[in-house]
Amino acid sequence: MPLIVYFADWLLTILIYLIVLGAILSWFPSSRGSAVARLINSITSPLLTPFRAIIPALGGMDFSPLLAMLLLSFLQRLLRSGLVT
């Protein structure tokens, strides 16, 4: 695989981890104002905003991180299978 494919795969993995970390941090109100939480939010918010526009929060639960992770995982599978080179 070309170097750009490895880099894209690595970037998608980092984004998935940041989404998970941001979702976990959102459960703790005291962490919302921290520098780490703001950094994670600034990175993941542009990715999550379109999903939030499509599916509103249901019962106070935001499912946009789940949808974003599913999309990123699908893109990773495409990269790893060699369909996108």
pLDDT confidence of residue 73: 96
Q: Tens-digit pLDDT profile for the chain (85 aa)?
A: 688 888 999 999 999 999 999 999 988 888 888 899 999 999 999 999 999 998 887 888 889 999 999 999 999 999 888 866 5
Q: Please tell me the predicted confidence (pLDDT) of residue 48.
A: 94
First to last CA, the chain: 8
Residues spanned by the domain of 23: 3-81
- pLDDT value at position 77? 93
Supply the pLDDT for residue 61. 87
Q: Which DSSP letter does residue 59 get?
A: T
Domain count of the fold of the chain: 1
* 20 vs 18: CA distance, rounded Å: 5
The phi and psi torsions of 58 (rounded to 5 degrees) equal -110, 115
